[in-house]
């Protein structure tokens, strides 16, 4: 599988001149970020957009470790969280002690605090990659999360610490009292951070991070200390996670133990992996999809986390290259001009696939309702139909739909696989 | 003195319970190179299965059946999940078991909800076995100690005296060589994973009535289990035993001695600042040992990593 | 003064109770092409790993241009002008051929741990990488992922990465293992070309290659060097013939 972020055929062509084609995605991103608030201008829309921007930065920072450096961390929330806590305290300093610090610069300080902490932890945790690194990251993460409850002065105990973002010196008359102003601040930092992280991946130490990930022994015999290369990736990742934390502090004006714990560290892993760790854009897609899923699913069902868990495990098992990987494997059929031949096979399996997903979701919803609804509440509504969740008929119907879909899928898959192979095969079918 | 004795026994119970989890985890890690993040989740499943079974036929059948069910579930996970991910390397394996841990927690909540189950020790063991200076020591904990020691001795016997044990021991030291000897390594893997998770399940059954059977029990214990095997040295059974007991006692003793930092600081000659309520160092003065207790294992881990990276008994440099 | 490129003095290495290398002393002068031969399990690869810093000797010293290096890490030894290849192909499979070579260049072109240069915008770096690609005849494959190259191409790339850093001591571990006769011939020519004016140390099983390439040959048997001499003298050495039971040398024409 070709990893889009790493193949680099145009490198020698564009050694001296600016390659405008490569700047196109960035230009589009600027335009998109600028007009989004006009499309989703409601309070809820802006909230989701802000959350998305923060999550994207955090996931990109996380992927500097996992995707580019081969380091699996179970405690990366710590660097985002500590950056955030530090910024909340800075905001309070601004409000109560008259410290002169314009809000737009705050993320820089969040980043520096994240960096500082990453330097401390990285000095011993980056000695090895793999399992050992993962365990240390988990231990340090849990240590800080546990400390946050007992060190009240800094972490505020159970209720966390809060601040008011509007108390800083206003620049150009902007005091960040509206969601939209906060959005544009987040969008700016998102662009800066994403560009910086992309550029980092194209520097000598960024390239060597990939080299160490793929083959640490070979990299050592090329003059590079694997430990130092990992340490630098780790520090850079801590810096950008700190920026994400600062934006979180600005956006929500409160940080709690939740920002540091394993659940947050786990969800960034989930987001990044879902998006695709082998690609620079993977975490971006992951963060967008995850935030949308979370927002939409939680409106409709109580067991959305179960669905996310299933989705995650299925991704690890069947699509280890994530959503971006799924998109990327269509690149070869596209190059061969055969993408069109896939439309009909896709349309054929779409029905049963949807049937299976909906059928099994209905089974779970009915079972959940039957087990957990309040005593006497036996009516539930699914897909616009109301019925008694305790009677066997709806459950059997859902099981039947799911079962039939599986049967149909098994019938259709061989033909689909043939069509797929054909579409990836150069030359005419003969 | 009597308080010390009570704590020693309580710590022993916690430590042995930890060891039942760590031994399975260590076996799996040493054999397959994969650290099973979902190990504590199988522990939780053990407790829930046993609770469900106990509502029909009582505690004792549950004690026997639940670990077997958990072990079978573990073997199936290895066969149909882990083996699939194996070819991508250790990091995806670890991510898979992490996802599994998330999923098991959600599944448990799906079936049993978020609240704690009324899973209790059997009536026959609901009495005080003996008491030390007024502190009653429940018979159930005595029972736990016996079961845990029994399991430990059985493991020791299997590992040192049987053919399967020889293969496992050889695989611990020379994984590639054993694969070349013609043993059915996939089957051994499935078996080890099954037995390891069954041990976790058994620990869950026994811990359920004492620690509470609730959806968060895997998270509460999970990280401690990982800390324990890192402290003991990845892949070392004796290290796992020593670290389990150490951490068991550390936590029990920390929880029962109400030493405050204030006493410690004043005894070394520092005086309490006048502006304690607003001082940035106020936590340093108000902390107590029971408060610090939960973070001690993590501190221990960081110290071990800093001064003895291979762990207490480990041979591999970590 | 001209110190030897590599000088081993009383080098021993044991793993547990097993002695793999026993009291090896050897001096390889600058510009020499030196081959190490010996039966399987003689300790050739271990000796290689001891010189390049993967292992550290139990006793004895390793000197590089007169400097003691036996306690240094691989990357520190590499920075002192020694580069090696591996018995098992050891390349960056998920990177392109071009990037593989570029990674081999970065340190020696003084980029070190830089995070302020953009690798794609360094004309000198790009040009040098293309020069090396030309040298190993892989210019047309520059955009191919290293993992999908043929075995012989991967071996050639491995040699390319090894020489990229401009090290003056090149150590190759069985560069022709598993190759057909024509591939072997090609690789030997390549090695001859790219190690011009450099010190070359090569571990090799193919006696044809060894006698073709080497100025001097050391014979390692059971962790001891039993002969270290010119090809002709080694061929005539009765102890060597005994160690090889005469079988291999016949095929060496």
Q: Which residues of chain C have pLDDT under 50?
A: 1, 248-253
> Does A11 map to a domain?
no
DSSP B80: I
What confidence tens digit (pLDDT) does each residue in A59-103 have? 999 999 999 999 999 999 999 999 999 999 999 999 888 888 889
Residue of A nearest to B290 (CA): A150
* Pair (A416, A292) in one structural domain: no
Q: Name the pairing type of β-strands C82-84 and C169-173.
A: parallel
For B114, the token pair is 């978020």
What is the distance between the alpha carbons of residues C23 and C25, in angstroms, rounded to a whole number?
6
Q: Are C75 and A16 inside 8 Å of each other by CB?
A: no
* Pair (A57, A122) in one structural domain: yes
Q: Which of C92, C113, C130 sits opposite A214 (nearest CB)?
A: C92
Looking at the complex, does the CB of residue C112 fall below 8 Å from at least one CB of chain A?
yes
> For all residues of chain B together, what is the average pLDDT?
84
* Pair (A143, A163) in one structural domain: yes
Q: Name the pairing type of β-strands C33-37 and B135-138.
A: unpaired
What confidence tens digit (pLDDT) does each residue in A210-239 have? 999 999 889 999 999 999 999 999 999 999
Looking at the complex, does the CB of residue A153 fall below 8 Å from at least one CB of chain B?
yes
Treating both helix axes as pointing N-terminal to C-terminal, what angle do B2-32 and B139-161 enclose, rounded to 10 degrees? 40
Looking at the complex, does the CB of residue A208 fall below 8 Å from at least one CB of chain C?
yes
In the beta sheet, which residues pair with residue A385? A382
> Does A84 map to a domain?
yes
What confidence tens digit (pLDDT) does each residue in A174-210 have? 788 888 899 999 999 999 999 999 999 999 999 999 9
Closest to A176 in 3D by CA, of A280, A66, A91:
A91
Q: Which pLDDT belongs to residue A391?
A: 85
> Does A4 map to a domain?
no
- Judge A/B contact: 3 or more CB pairs < 8 A: yes
Residue whose structure tokens are 């099954």: B194
Q: Are B234 and A132 inside 8 Å of each other by CB?
A: yes
Q: Which pLDDT belongs to residue A230?
A: 96
Q: Which pLDDT belongs to residue B205?
A: 92
Q: Are A143 and B302 inside 8 Å of each other by CB?
A: yes
For B1, the token pair is 């003195």
CA-to-CA dists, residue B274 to A381, B240, B271, angstroms? 63, 46, 9
Q: Name the pairing type of β-strands A385-388 and A379-382.
A: antiparallel
Q: Region of A382 please: left (phi>0), alpha (psi -120 to 50) or beta.
A: beta
Domain count, chain A: 2
What is the distance between the alpha carbons of residues A357 and A380, in angstroms, rounded to a whole number?
19
For A116, the token pair is 């500082």
**CATH code for position A261:** 1.10.3470
* Pair (A324, A337) in one structural domain: no
Q: Are A254 and A160 in contact (CB under 8 A)?
A: yes
Other beta carbons less than 10 A from residue A334's beta carbon: 12
Contacts of A207 in chain C (CB under 8 A): 99, 102-103, 106, 119
Contacts of A132 in chain B (CB under 8 A): 230, 234, 318
Assign A175 to helix, strand or coil: coil
Burial of C27 (0-12, 13-18, 19+ CB in 10 A): middle
Q: Region of B39 please: left (phi>0), alpha (psi -120 to 50) or beta.
A: alpha
Q: Are C119 and A217 inside 8 Å of each other by CB?
A: no
Q: Are C81 and C169 in contact (CB under 8 A)?
A: yes
Q: Which pLDDT belongs to residue A280?
A: 93
Q: Which pLDDT belongs to residue B278?
A: 66
* Pair (A310, A345) in one structural domain: no
What confidence tens digit (pLDDT) does each residue in C129-141 have? 999 999 898 999 9
Assign A204 to helix, strand or coil: helix
What confidence tens digit (pLDDT) does each residue in A114-162 have? 999 999 999 988 988 888 888 889 889 989 998 888 888 888 888 899 9
Residue whose structure tokens are 């071009």: C98
Q: Are A286 and A276 in contact (CB under 8 A)?
A: yes
Output the CA torsion sign for C18, C22, C23, C29: negative
Other beta carbons less than 10 A from residue A123's beta carbon: 14
> Does A14 map to a domain?
no
Q: Which pLDDT belongs to residue A129?
A: 84
Q: Are C132 and C108 in contact (CB under 8 A)?
A: no
Q: What is the ipTM of this complex?
A: 0.88
In the beta sheet, which residues pair with residue C77? none
- Domain ends where: A328, A353, A385? A328
Contacts of A236 in chain C (CB under 8 A): 115
Q: Which pLDDT belongs to residue C42?
A: 84
What distance in Å separates residue B69's CA from the closest CA in chain A?
21
* Pair (A315, A338) in one structural domain: no
**Predicted model pTM:** 0.89
> Does C80 map to a domain?
yes
Looking at the complex, does the CB of residue C91 fall below 8 Å from at least one CB of chain A?
yes
Strands lying side by side in the sheet with C216-221: C82-84, C169-173, C199-203, C33-37, C216-221, C224-229
Q: Which pLDDT belongs to residue C179?
A: 87
Q: Are A226 and A212 in contact (CB under 8 A)?
A: yes
Q: Which pLDDT belongs to residue B182?
A: 61
Other beta carbons less than 10 A from residue B288's beta carbon: 16
Domain count, chain C: 1
Q: Which pLDDT belongs to residue A9?
A: 41
* Pair (A233, A340) in one structural domain: no
**CATH code for position C84:** 3.40.50.300
**Residue A417's domain spans which residues?**
333-423
For A372, the token pair is 């957990």
Looking at the complex, does the CB of residue A310 fall below 8 Å from at least one CB of chain B?
yes
Residue A13 or residue B177, greater confidence:
B177
Closest to B238 in 3D by CA, of B146, B144, B151, B152:
B152
Treating both helix axes as pointing N-terminal to C-terminal, what angle do B217-232 and B2-32 enclose, rounded to 10 degrees? 80
> Does C1 map to a domain?
no
Q: Are A220 and C123 inside 8 Å of each other by CB?
A: no
pLDDT at A110 over 90: yes
Q: Which pLDDT belongs to residue C59?
A: 92
Looking at the complex, does the CB of residue A207 fall below 8 Å from at least one CB of chain C?
yes
Banded pLDDT at A16 (limits 50, 70, 90): very low
> Does A28 map to a domain?
yes
* Pair (A311, A390) in one structural domain: no
Q: Which residues of chain B have pLDDT under 70?
A: 1, 171-184, 274, 276-280, 315-318
Q: Which pLDDT belongs to residue B123?
A: 80
For A423, the token pair is 């579409």
* Pair (A357, A218) in one structural domain: no
* Pair (A65, A205) in one structural domain: yes
* Pair (A41, A134) in one structural domain: yes
What is the distance between the alpha carbons of residues A357 and A361, in angstroms, rounded to a whole number?
6
> Does C206 map to a domain?
yes
Q: Which pLDDT belongs to residue B277?
A: 66
CB environment B96-129: b (16+ within 10 A), e (fewer): bbbbbbbbbbbbbbbebeeeebebbbbeebeeee
Question: Residue B13 CA to chain centroid, in angstroms?
Answer: 11
Residue of A nearest to C140 (CA): A9
Give the best residue of C80, C106, C171 to mutate against chain A (max A CB count within 10 A).
Answer: C106
* Pair (A360, A267) in one structural domain: no
Contacts of A7 in chain C (CB under 8 A): 96, 143, 145
> Does C47 map to a domain?
yes
Q: Are B35 and A131 inside 8 Å of each other by CB?
A: yes
């Amino acid at each position: 599988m070709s990893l889009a972020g790493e193949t680099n055929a145009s490198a020698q062509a564009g050694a001296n001149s600016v390659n405008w084609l490569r700047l196109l995605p960035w230009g589009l991103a600027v335009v998109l970020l600028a007009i989004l608030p006009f499309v989703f201008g409601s309070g809820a829309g802006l909230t989701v957009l802000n959350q998305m921007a923060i999550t994207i930065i955090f996931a990109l920072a996380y992927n500097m470790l996992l995707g580019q450096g081969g380091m699996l961390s179970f405690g990366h929330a710590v660097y985002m969280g500590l950056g955030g806590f530090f910024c909340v305290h800075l905001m309070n300093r601004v409000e109560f002690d008259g410290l002169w610090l314009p809000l737009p610069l705050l993320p820089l300080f969040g980043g520096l605090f994240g960096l500082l902490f990453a330097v401390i932890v990285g000095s011993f945790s980056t000695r090895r990659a793999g399992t050992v690194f993962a365990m240390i990251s988990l231990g340090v993460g849990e240590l800080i999360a546990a400390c946050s409850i007992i060190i009240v002065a800094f972490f505020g105990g159970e209720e966390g610490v809060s601040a008011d973002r509007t108390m800083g010196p206003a620049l150009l008359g902007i005091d960040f009292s509206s969601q939209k102003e906060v959005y544009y601040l987040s969008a700016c930092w998102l662009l800066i951070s994403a560009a910086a992280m992309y550029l980092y991946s194209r520097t000598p130490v960024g390239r060597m991070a990939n080299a160490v990930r793929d083959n640490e022994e070979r990299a050592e015999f090329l003059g590079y200390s694997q430990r130092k290369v990992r340490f630098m990736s780790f520090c850079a990742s801590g810096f950008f996670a700190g920026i994400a934390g600062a934006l979180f502090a600005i956006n929500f004006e409160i940080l709690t133990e939740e920002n540091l714990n394993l659940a947050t560290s786990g969800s960034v892993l989930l987001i990044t992996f879902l998006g695709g760790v082998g690609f620079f854009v993977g975490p971006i897609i992951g963060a967008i999809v995850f935030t949308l899923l979370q927002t939409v699913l939680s409106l409709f069902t109580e067991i959305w986390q179960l669905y996310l868990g299933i989705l995650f495990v299925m991704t690890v098992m069947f699509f280890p290259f994530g959503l971006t990987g799924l998109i990327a494997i269509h690149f070869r059929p596209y190059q061969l001009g055969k993408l069109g031949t896939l439309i009909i096979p896709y349309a054929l399996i779409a029905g049963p696939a949807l049937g299976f997903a909906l059928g099994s979701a209905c089974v779970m919803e009915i079972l959940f309702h039957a087990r957990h609804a309040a005593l006497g509440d036996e009516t539930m509504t699914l897909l616009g139909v109301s019925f008694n969740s305790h009677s066997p008929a709806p459950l059997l119907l859902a099981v039947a739909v799911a079962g039939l879909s599986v049967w149909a899928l098994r019938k259709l898959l061989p033909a689909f696989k043939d069509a797929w192979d054909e579409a990836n095969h150069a030359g005419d079918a003969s | 003195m009597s308080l010390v004795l009570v704590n020693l026994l309580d710590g022993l119970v916690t430590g042995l319970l930890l060891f039942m989890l760590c031994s399975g985890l260590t076996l799996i890690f040493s054999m397959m190179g994969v650290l099973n993040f979902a190990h504590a989740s199988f522990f939780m499943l053990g407790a829930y299965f046993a609770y469900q079974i106990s509502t029909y036929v009582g505690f004792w059948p549950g004690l026997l059946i639940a670990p077997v069910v958990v072990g079978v579930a573990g073997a199936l996970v290895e066969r149909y999940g882990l083996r699939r991910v194996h070819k991508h390397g250790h990091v995806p394996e670890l991510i898979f078991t992490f996802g599994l841990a998330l999923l098991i927690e959600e599944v448990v909540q799906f079936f049993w909800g978020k609240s704690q189950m009324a899973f209790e020790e059997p009536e026959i063991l609901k009495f005080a076995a003996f008491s030390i200076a007024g502190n009653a020591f429940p018979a159930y904990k005595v029972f736990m100690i016996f079961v845990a020691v029994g399991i430990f001795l059985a493991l020791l016997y299997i590992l040192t005296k049987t053919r399967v044990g020889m293969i496992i021991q050889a695989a611990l030291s020379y994984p590639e060589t054993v694969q070349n000897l013609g043993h059915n390594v996939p089957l051994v893997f499935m078996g080890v994973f099954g037995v390891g998770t069954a041990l976790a399940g058994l620990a869950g059954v026994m811990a359920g009535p004492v620690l509470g059977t609730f959806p968060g029990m895997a998270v509460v214990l999970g990280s401690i289990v990982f800390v324990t095997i890192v402290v003991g040295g990845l892949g070392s059974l004796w290290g796992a035993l020593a670290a389990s007991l150490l951490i068991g006692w550390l936590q029990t003793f920390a929880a029962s001695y109400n030493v405050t930092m204030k006493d410690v600081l004043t005894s070394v000659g520092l005086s309490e600042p006048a502006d304690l309520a607003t001082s940035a160092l106020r936590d340093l003065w108000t902390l107590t040992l029971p408060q610090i207790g939960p973070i001690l294992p993590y501190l221990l881990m960081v110290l071990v990593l800093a001064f003895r990276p291979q762990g207490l008994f480990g041979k591999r440099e970590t | 003064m001209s110190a030897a490129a590599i000088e081993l003095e009383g080098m021993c290495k044991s793993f547990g109770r097993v002695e793999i290398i026993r009291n090896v002393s050897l001096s390889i002068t600058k510009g020499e092409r030196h081959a190490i031969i010996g039966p399987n399990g003689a300790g050739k690869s271990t000796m290689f790993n001891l010189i390049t810093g993967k292992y550290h000797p139990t006793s004895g010293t390793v000197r590089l241009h007169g400097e003691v290096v036996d306690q240094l890490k691989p990357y520190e030894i590499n920075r002192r002008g020694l580069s090696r290849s591996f018995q098992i192909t050891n390349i960056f499979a998920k990177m392109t051929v071009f990037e593989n070579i570029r990674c081999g260049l970065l340190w020696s072109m003084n980029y070190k741990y830089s995070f302020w240069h953009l690798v794609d915008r360094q004309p000198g770096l790009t040009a040098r990488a293309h020069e090396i690609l030309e040298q190993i005849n892989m210019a047309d494959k520059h955009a191919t992922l290293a993992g999908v190259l043929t075995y012989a191409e991967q071996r050639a790339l491995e040699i390319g990465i090894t020489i990229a850093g401009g090290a003056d001591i090149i150590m190759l571990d069985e560069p022709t293992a598993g190759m057909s006769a024509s591939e072997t011939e090609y690789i030997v020519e390549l090695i001859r070309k790219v190690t011009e004016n450099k010190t070359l140390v090569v571990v090799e099983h193919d006696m044809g290659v060894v006698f073709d390439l080497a100025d001097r040959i050391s014979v390692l048997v059971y962790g001891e060097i039993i002969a270290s001499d010119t090809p002709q003298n080694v061929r005539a050495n009765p102890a060597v013939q005994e160690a090889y039971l005469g079988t291999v040398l016949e095929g060496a024409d």
